[in-house]
Amino acid sequence: MLGCCSIREPSQRRGRGFTIVELLTVIAVMAVMATLVSSALANARLRSEQMTCFGNLRQVVQAIEMYSRDTGKRPRSLSRVIQHLPNQGPSNVFVCPSDPALRRTITTNLFWGNVANASQEPWAGQNDLRDPESGSWTAELAEVNETEPFSYLHPLSWRRAAWQRLGVLGTDAGTVICQLHGVRVPTPAAVPNFKHYLQYEGLVFRALRDGSVVKRRVFRPGSMGEGSPGSDYPWEFYSDALLPVR
Protein backbone atom coordinates (compact mmCIF):
# COMPACT_ATOMS: atom_id res chain seq x y z
CA MET A 1 0.00 0.00 0.00
CA LEU A 2 1.44 3.31 -1.09
CA GLY A 3 1.89 5.96 1.55
CA CYS A 4 0.56 9.41 0.82
CA CYS A 5 2.79 12.48 0.82
CA SER A 6 1.79 15.68 2.50
CA ILE A 7 2.76 19.03 0.98
CA ARG A 8 3.84 21.66 3.48
CA GLU A 9 2.99 25.29 2.98
CA PRO A 10 5.94 27.76 3.05
CA SER A 11 6.67 28.93 6.55
CA GLN A 12 5.08 32.26 7.38
CA ARG A 13 8.09 33.05 9.57
CA ARG A 14 10.56 33.09 6.71
CA GLY A 15 12.28 36.52 6.51
CA ARG A 16 11.02 38.93 3.87
CA GLY A 17 13.43 41.38 2.09
CA PHE A 18 12.95 45.13 1.69
CA THR A 19 11.03 46.34 -1.27
CA ILE A 20 12.50 49.01 -3.58
CA VAL A 21 10.19 51.63 -2.10
CA GLU A 22 11.31 50.81 1.42
CA LEU A 23 15.00 50.95 0.45
CA LEU A 24 14.55 54.32 -1.23
CA THR A 25 12.72 55.63 1.83
CA VAL A 26 15.53 54.52 4.15
CA ILE A 27 18.17 56.08 1.88
CA ALA A 28 16.22 59.34 1.70
CA VAL A 29 15.87 59.50 5.50
CA MET A 30 19.60 58.83 5.94
CA ALA A 31 20.46 61.55 3.40
CA VAL A 32 18.28 64.08 5.22
CA MET A 33 19.85 63.17 8.56
CA ALA A 34 23.36 63.45 7.11
CA THR A 35 22.51 66.89 5.71
CA LEU A 36 21.16 68.08 9.05
CA VAL A 37 24.22 66.80 10.92
CA SER A 38 26.58 68.36 8.38
CA SER A 39 24.78 71.69 8.59
CA ALA A 40 24.86 71.63 12.39
CA LEU A 41 28.58 70.87 12.39
CA ALA A 42 29.26 73.66 9.87
CA ASN A 43 27.29 76.16 11.97
CA ALA A 44 29.11 75.06 15.11
CA ARG A 45 32.47 75.51 13.38
CA LEU A 46 31.42 78.94 12.11
CA ARG A 47 30.38 80.07 15.59
CA SER A 48 33.63 78.73 17.04
CA GLU A 49 35.70 80.63 14.46
CA GLN A 50 33.78 83.82 15.14
CA MET A 51 34.27 83.53 18.89
CA THR A 52 38.00 82.93 18.40
CA CYS A 53 38.15 85.94 16.09
CA PHE A 54 36.35 88.09 18.68
CA GLY A 55 38.91 87.10 21.32
CA ASN A 56 41.82 87.83 18.97
CA LEU A 57 40.49 91.28 18.11
CA ARG A 58 40.06 92.19 21.77
CA GLN A 59 43.65 91.22 22.55
CA VAL A 60 45.06 93.07 19.57
CA VAL A 61 43.20 96.32 20.24
CA GLN A 62 44.25 96.18 23.91
CA ALA A 63 47.87 95.76 22.82
CA ILE A 64 47.56 98.76 20.48
CA GLU A 65 46.17 100.93 23.25
CA MET A 66 48.91 99.82 25.66
CA TYR A 67 51.57 100.60 23.06
CA SER A 68 50.06 104.04 22.50
CA ARG A 69 50.03 104.79 26.23
CA ASP A 70 53.62 103.60 26.70
CA THR A 71 55.13 105.38 23.69
CA GLY A 72 52.81 108.32 23.17
CA LYS A 73 52.27 107.46 19.50
CA ARG A 74 50.41 104.98 17.37
CA PRO A 75 52.13 101.77 16.28
CA ARG A 76 52.52 101.91 12.53
CA SER A 77 52.15 98.12 12.16
CA LEU A 78 50.71 95.20 14.11
CA SER A 79 54.16 93.65 14.34
CA ARG A 80 55.19 96.39 16.76
CA VAL A 81 52.62 95.51 19.42
CA ILE A 82 53.58 91.87 19.98
CA GLN A 83 55.27 92.64 23.31
CA HIS A 84 52.11 94.43 24.46
CA LEU A 85 49.77 91.50 23.90
CA PRO A 86 48.14 90.31 27.15
CA ASN A 87 50.19 87.10 27.07
CA GLN A 88 53.15 88.66 25.23
CA GLY A 89 52.51 86.51 22.16
CA PRO A 90 51.98 84.15 20.49
CA SER A 91 51.63 86.04 17.26
CA ASN A 92 48.86 83.70 16.01
CA VAL A 93 46.48 86.06 17.81
CA PHE A 94 46.81 88.10 14.61
CA VAL A 95 45.33 85.27 12.52
CA CYS A 96 41.61 84.71 12.06
CA PRO A 97 40.69 81.00 11.92
CA SER A 98 38.61 81.80 8.82
CA ASP A 99 41.66 83.03 6.91
CA PRO A 100 41.87 81.08 3.62
CA ALA A 101 45.65 80.95 3.99
CA LEU A 102 45.21 78.36 6.75
CA ARG A 103 43.66 75.96 4.25
CA ARG A 104 46.40 76.23 1.66
CA THR A 105 49.16 73.67 1.42
CA ILE A 106 51.67 75.84 -0.42
CA THR A 107 54.67 77.01 1.59
CA THR A 108 54.24 80.71 0.78
CA ASN A 109 50.93 81.30 2.50
CA LEU A 110 49.88 84.94 2.29
CA PHE A 111 47.46 85.81 5.03
CA TRP A 112 44.56 88.11 4.30
CA GLY A 113 45.86 91.15 6.13
CA ASN A 114 49.34 90.90 4.61
CA VAL A 115 47.80 90.95 1.14
CA ALA A 116 44.88 93.32 1.62
CA ASN A 117 45.99 95.88 4.17
CA ALA A 118 48.12 97.98 1.84
CA SER A 119 45.18 98.31 -0.56
CA GLN A 120 43.35 100.44 2.01
CA GLU A 121 45.81 103.30 1.54
CA PRO A 122 44.93 105.07 -1.72
CA TRP A 123 47.91 106.33 -3.64
CA ALA A 124 50.11 104.33 -1.34
CA GLY A 125 53.84 104.36 -1.81
CA GLN A 126 56.91 106.28 -0.75
CA ASN A 127 56.15 109.29 -2.92
CA ASP A 128 52.62 109.62 -1.57
CA LEU A 129 53.19 109.31 2.17
CA ARG A 130 54.15 113.01 2.09
CA ASP A 131 54.37 113.41 5.85
CA PRO A 132 56.64 110.74 7.36
CA GLU A 133 56.15 110.66 11.11
CA SER A 134 59.54 109.11 11.74
CA GLY A 135 61.59 111.92 10.23
CA SER A 136 62.89 110.10 7.16
CA TRP A 137 61.59 107.79 4.47
CA THR A 138 63.85 104.98 5.61
CA ALA A 139 62.60 105.22 9.17
CA GLU A 140 59.02 105.57 7.97
CA LEU A 141 59.15 102.45 5.83
CA ALA A 142 60.70 100.52 8.72
CA GLU A 143 57.83 101.66 10.95
CA VAL A 144 55.09 100.42 8.61
CA ASN A 145 56.83 97.19 7.62
CA GLU A 146 55.03 94.07 8.81
CA THR A 147 57.14 91.12 9.93
CA GLU A 148 54.31 88.91 11.20
CA PRO A 149 51.54 87.03 9.36
CA PHE A 150 48.19 88.62 10.12
CA SER A 151 44.59 88.44 8.94
CA TYR A 152 43.17 91.71 10.22
CA LEU A 153 42.95 95.08 8.52
CA HIS A 154 43.93 98.21 10.42
CA PRO A 155 44.41 101.94 9.74
CA LEU A 156 47.68 102.18 11.69
CA SER A 157 49.76 102.73 8.57
CA TRP A 158 47.46 105.35 7.07
CA ARG A 159 48.78 108.81 6.40
CA ARG A 160 48.61 111.20 9.31
CA ALA A 161 45.67 113.26 8.02
CA ALA A 162 43.50 110.16 7.47
CA TRP A 163 44.43 108.74 10.88
CA GLN A 164 43.48 112.03 12.55
CA ARG A 165 40.14 112.08 10.74
CA LEU A 166 39.37 108.69 12.18
CA GLY A 167 40.75 109.66 15.57
CA VAL A 168 38.19 112.42 16.16
CA LEU A 169 35.66 109.70 16.95
CA GLY A 170 37.61 108.67 20.03
CA THR A 171 36.70 105.25 21.39
CA ASP A 172 33.93 104.87 18.80
CA ALA A 173 36.50 104.47 16.05
CA GLY A 174 37.48 101.00 14.90
CA THR A 175 41.16 100.14 15.19
CA VAL A 176 41.26 96.56 13.91
CA ILE A 177 38.69 94.81 11.76
CA CYS A 178 38.06 91.35 10.35
CA GLN A 179 36.36 91.11 6.99
CA LEU A 180 36.73 87.36 6.56
CA HIS A 181 33.16 86.48 7.51
CA GLY A 182 31.51 87.88 4.38
CA VAL A 183 32.16 87.71 0.64
CA ARG A 184 34.27 89.70 -1.77
CA VAL A 185 32.60 91.48 -4.64
CA PRO A 186 34.08 90.30 -7.96
CA THR A 187 36.36 92.75 -9.70
CA PRO A 188 34.84 94.11 -12.93
CA ALA A 189 36.96 93.03 -15.88
CA ALA A 190 36.61 96.48 -17.43
CA VAL A 191 38.22 98.15 -14.42
CA PRO A 192 41.63 96.52 -14.02
CA ASN A 193 42.77 98.93 -11.28
CA PHE A 194 39.75 98.26 -9.08
CA LYS A 195 41.01 97.62 -5.52
CA HIS A 196 39.41 94.21 -5.29
CA TYR A 197 40.48 93.46 -1.72
CA LEU A 198 38.21 96.25 -0.56
CA GLN A 199 35.18 95.27 -2.66
CA TYR A 200 33.20 93.51 -0.01
CA GLU A 201 29.80 92.78 1.45
CA GLY A 202 28.69 90.98 4.55
CA LEU A 203 29.71 90.74 8.15
CA VAL A 204 32.54 92.85 9.57
CA PHE A 205 33.89 92.50 13.09
CA ARG A 206 35.12 95.88 14.30
CA ALA A 207 37.30 96.21 17.39
CA LEU A 208 36.86 99.64 18.98
CA ARG A 209 39.47 101.50 20.97
CA ASP A 210 37.69 100.77 24.24
CA GLY A 211 38.25 97.03 23.71
CA SER A 212 34.72 96.12 22.64
CA VAL A 213 33.98 94.31 19.38
CA VAL A 214 30.88 95.02 17.32
CA LYS A 215 29.33 93.30 14.31
CA ARG A 216 28.34 95.32 11.28
CA ARG A 217 26.84 94.53 7.91
CA VAL A 218 28.79 96.36 5.25
CA PHE A 219 28.24 96.66 1.53
CA ARG A 220 31.20 98.25 -0.17
CA PRO A 221 31.25 98.03 -3.97
CA GLY A 222 34.30 100.29 -3.98
CA SER A 223 35.07 103.72 -5.29
CA MET A 224 35.18 104.25 -9.03
CA GLY A 225 36.54 107.77 -8.60
CA GLU A 226 40.26 107.19 -8.24
CA GLY A 227 41.04 110.71 -9.39
CA SER A 228 41.44 112.48 -6.06
CA PRO A 229 43.87 111.36 -3.35
CA GLY A 230 42.14 110.00 -0.27
CA SER A 231 38.84 109.28 -2.03
CA ASP A 232 38.95 105.56 -1.43
CA TYR A 233 39.58 105.14 2.28
CA PRO A 234 37.21 102.42 3.55
CA TRP A 235 35.69 104.56 6.31
CA GLU A 236 32.64 102.30 6.56
CA PHE A 237 34.81 99.44 7.80
CA TYR A 238 35.98 101.52 10.76
CA SER A 239 33.11 103.82 11.60
CA ASP A 240 29.34 104.09 11.43
CA ALA A 241 29.81 107.80 10.81
CA LEU A 242 30.93 107.29 7.18
CA LEU A 243 33.46 110.08 7.51
CA PRO A 244 33.69 112.38 4.48
CA VAL A 245 37.06 113.11 2.99
CA ARG A 246 38.38 116.60 3.51
| Domain assignment of residue 12, yes or no | no
Look up the pTM and report it.
0.75
| Domain assignment of residue 14, yes or no | no
| Domain assignment of residue 99, yes or no | yes
Torsion of CA 187, 158, 52, 64, to 10 degrees: 180
Total of domains in the chain: 1
State pLDDT tens for residues 220-241.
765 544 434 445 688 889 998 8
Backbone angles phi, psi at 241, to 5 degrees: -75, -15
| Domain assignment of residue 13, yes or no | no
State pLDDT tens for residues 175-200.
999 999 887 666 555 555 556 677 78
| Domain assignment of residue 245, yes or no | no
| Domain assignment of residue 246, yes or no | no
pLDDT for 92 equals: 85
Q: For residue 165, what are the domain limits? A: 22-238
Q: What percent of the chain has pLDDT over 70?
A: 72
| Domain assignment of residue 54, yes or no | yes
| Domain assignment of residue 35, yes or no | yes
